Amino acid sequence: MNIQTLGWSPTKTSAEPSPLLRHLTGDFAPALAALWPAPHEAILTAPAARRHLVCLWLDRGCAGVERNLILALPVRRLLPRILVAPPAGLAPVLAKLGEVAWSAADYSLLLDRLAEPEAAKVLRHAEGITPAQVRRLSLLPPALVAARVGRLALDEDRAVLIGDAFAAIRQAQGEAAAEEAAARWGQARSIKALFQAAKADIEGPVPPPPYPGSERLRPLATKQALHEAAARFRNCLGDMVPYASEGASAYYEWPGPPAVAVEITRDRIFGWRLAQAKLARNHAVPAVVRDEIVAELRDWGVHCGRSAWDLSGSLHRARSARYNLERVDAWLEEVFD
């Protein structure tokens, strides 16, 4: 903000901004007070859009326009004098920025976004524009801006997160897949729906089950099957999709009655092992059904006993003078109860 280029040498008194000027113009207040001394009537009574323009002028060193013209000439005539290449639509946008001046950094972000077609479209159609909104647009990849994800008013943390998800899909699956994901996310009508859609795309497909299953124990072999089972069992099976899609766990259903949801997981020593089995609402499995499920899994070659982690921990604790081994039956009790 170089006011010395105007040949203006303010006195100490004239350079002191009033509280109202400080409130309305923030960091620009001292320079504005030097140009329009107290009571600062000319700048305080100017329309908010004009004050924003004056702040842009100050930020660019007061170049291109004399002080006595900056409050007088039409905005559209001033813009080419202040900015080398003013973005299209800047004049009406200035009227949407509110009463209080922005920071120099936020003005720069605004100009950058207005230079991008998709971001500019979002801003031109907005009823009002805030610095936070511009910062969010600045954090989103252009493809997500084009898909109108920014209309959901994400906070900055969520804007960064959805951008990371988009980048992950692009890295793993390529540009075309990322563009398709952006289009799907743009159809979301709420923040919750947006992140549900992104989560589903990040998870990827569920690999084929390690065991084909049987009439007594049927695989839940797709994301849809897991979500449908979650609805039937009224539990968190739907949240297990990431484990299934990464191949860390596989899920089966014992049709019953009673019906039982069964999880087997990879074990570095034993291969696939039984991790947990529960009735609807995670209720305990009756003893007779437990025995049948264990017998079926053992016929497949699934380990029904301590995990490698449990075995290592038991060996560690066995060094102590007092040690009691947890029996496999007690471990199975936890699995089914």
pLDDT of 257 higher than 50: yes
The fraction of the chain above a pLDDT of 90, given in percent, is: 56
Q: Regarding predicted confidence, which is higher, 159 or 151?
A: 159
Write phi, then psi, for 132 (nearest 5 degrees). -60, -40
Average pLDDT (257-262) is 94
State residue 261's pLDDT score: 95
| Residue range 200-226: mean pLDDT, rounded | 91
pLDDT of 4 > 60? The answer is no
pLDDT classification of 11: cutoffs 50, 70, 90: very low
Indicate the average pLDDT of the chain. 88
Work out the average pLDDT over 224-238: 90
Please check whether residue 156 is in contact with residue 120, taking contact to mean a CB–CB distance below 8 angstroms: no
225 or 60, which is more confident?
225
Burial class (CB in 10 A: 0-12, 13-18, 19+), 260: buried
Residue with tokens 């979301």: 188
Q: Which residue has the higher pLDDT, 84 or 12?
A: 84
In this structure, of 55-64, 171-180, 248-257, 260-269, the range with the lowest mean pLDDT score is 55-64
Q: What is the pLDDT of residue 117?
A: 86
pLDDT of residue 15: 67
Per-residue confidence band for 248, with pLDDT thresholds at 50, 70 and 90: very high
328 pLDDT more than 50? yes
Confidence of residue 171 (pLDDT cuts 50, 70, 90): very high
Is the pLDDT assigned to residue 1 strictly greater than 70? no
Average pLDDT rounded to a whole number, residues 79-104: 91
* pLDDT computed for residue 12 by the predictor: 44
pLDDT higher than 50, residue 94: yes
Give the pLDDT band of residue 14 (cuts 50, 70, 90). Answer: low
Least confident piece of the model among 105-119, 147-161, 320-334: 320-334
Radius of gyration of the CA atoms of the chain, in A: 32
288-314: pLDDT as tens digits: 999 999 999 999 999 998 889 888 888
